[in-house]
């Protein structure tokens, strides 16, 4: 039972890291898009929206890889009953 709780705690920590990563990458994309919008694109909105989209996309990709890696590491529980010798 302790192995299951540890895996749940690990998944929880990974979700926390995913949310933090998403917030940072979203903010970075908005900031970078704002700079490009201000200096190169005559204060248009689309560079900011595009930067935010790229940031969220990168965060989603990183999170998906991180969580899938931890799910694959877990041993599946056996539904069959093992015979004792």
What pTM, to 2 d.p., does this model score?
0.68
pLDDT in tens, the chain (85 residues): 455 556 678 878 888 999 999 999 999 999 999 999 988 888 888 999 999 999 999 999 999 988 888 777 666 666 676 666 5
Look up residue 20 and give its DSSP letter: H
pLDDT value at position 40?
A: 87
Say if residues 29 and 67 touch (Cβ distance below 8 Å): no
| Tokens 């908005």 belong to residue | 30
pLDDT value at position 11?
A: 79
Tell me the C-alpha distance between 78 and 35, whole Å.
54
């Amino acid at each position: 039972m302790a192995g299951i709780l540890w895996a749940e705690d690990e998944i929880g920590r990974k979700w926390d890291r995913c949310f933090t990563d998403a917030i940072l990458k979203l903010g970075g994309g908005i900031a970078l898009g704002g700079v490009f919008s201000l200096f190169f694109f005559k204060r248009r909105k689309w560079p900011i929206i595009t930067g935010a989209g790229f940031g969220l996309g990168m965060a989603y990709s990183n999170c998906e890889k991180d969580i899938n890696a931890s799910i694959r590491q877990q041993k599946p529980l056996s539904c069959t009953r093992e015979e004792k010798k």
